[in-house]
Amino acid sequence: MTKNKIIVDGTTIRINKEGYVCLTDIAKRSIEDTEPIVALRAWLKNSSTLLFLQTWENKKNTNFKLNQMVQFRMKAADNRNYATPQKYIEETGAIGIVSKSGRYGGTFAHSDIALNFCYWLSPEFQVYLMEEFQRLKADEQIRLGDPFNIKRFVTAGSYSVLVTSLLSKIDERLLTHPQPYKKRLPFAAEADMINEIVFGFTAKQWRLNNPDAPTDRNQRDFASVLDLIVMNSLELVGAMLIQWDVEELAERKRLLTDTYNFVYPILKRSKTIQELQKIADKAKKIE
């Protein structure tokens, strides 16, 4: 992102040169007269938070210290100890969060993690922040003329919400011992279910049908803006179904299919979406 600050629902939030979002600024939305560090410490003691951070780092960070993370989680669960961003970074080698002291310091995090923090602090504020991310990223990618990244970003925020929702319901053993349990994590199954509803194919099926497609692209990259916005809606609804304890995958698929059948024809008539498609098509020609 190119801006140093964004204003979300009246709150000014800094963004560093790496594009990391200031959690300290977001934490100012917490209870009045509470220092931001208090909210950050409470967030880092939350078991769902730590499961999310562990999964994110394990996927993004080849130098992540998984064993130390397990120890950190155990200490965080002890009320006699307190967790801080600095301790978390030092003990685990995490890269998704950076923290600096001083007048112009603060705790900054990757946008995925910032959205998770918002979900814990205020789901309503998370929606506002996600909308601002989408607007900034769309503006940037239109300027750069990259239609693939425009499309990727349309669903990125909502997928983070879906992953967070799934993590809140997962048996901790699946993440404490990721190697033997890795294939049992439900993220791919949930994503494929939504892919089937929107596109008619799972990711694997699409790859088999399109062997010449670039290896770093998937069916979402070649989808229409309409399909991706509908997918964005399904990911949000899917996340809430999980929170509402709709446990059976088949039942969630039925409800999401009903949602798709209701939403798709309405959004298809949207003039705004039609204009966005024209912008994406124009950017693709420039490319």
> Is residue 134 in some structural domain?
no
Residues 83 and 186 in one domain: no
3-state secondary structure (DSSP) of residue 99: strand
Q: Are 117 and 109 in contact (CB under 8 A)?
A: yes
Give the pLDDT of residue 140: 55
pLDDT digits (tens, 9 = 90+) for 183-208: 445 677 888 899 999 999 998 899 89
> Is residue 124 in some structural domain?
no
Residues 156 and 264 in one domain: yes
Closest CA to 228 of 258, 190, 183, 273: 273
Which of the listed residues 79, 100, 117 is the one where a domain comes to its end?
117
Residues 174 and 217 in one domain: yes
Residues 149 and 46 in one domain: no
Rounded to an integer, what distance in angstroms lies between the CA atom of residue 36 and that of residue 29? 9
Residues 180 and 279 in one domain: yes
* 278 residue type, one letter: K
Domain range spanning residue 178? 145-286
pLDDT digits (tens, 9 = 90+) for 17-46: 888 999 999 988 765 556 888 899 999 998
3-state secondary structure (DSSP) of residue 60: helix
In this structure, what DSSP letter does residue 15 have? B
Residues of the chain with pLDDT under 50: 1-2, 142, 144-145, 173-184, 286-287
Helix ranges (DSSP H) in the chain: 23-27, 36-45, 47-60, 66-76, 85-92, 111-121, 123-144, 147-167, 173-176, 178-181, 187-199, 203-209, 225-243, 249-268, 271-286
> Is residue 69 in some structural domain?
yes
pLDDT digits (tens, 9 = 90+) for 86-108: 999 999 999 999 998 777 779 99
Distances (CA, A) of 233 to 49, 159, 257, 264, 267: 24, 10, 12, 10, 11
Please give the tally of structural domains in the chain. 2
> Is residue 196 in some structural domain?
yes
> Is residue 122 in some structural domain?
no
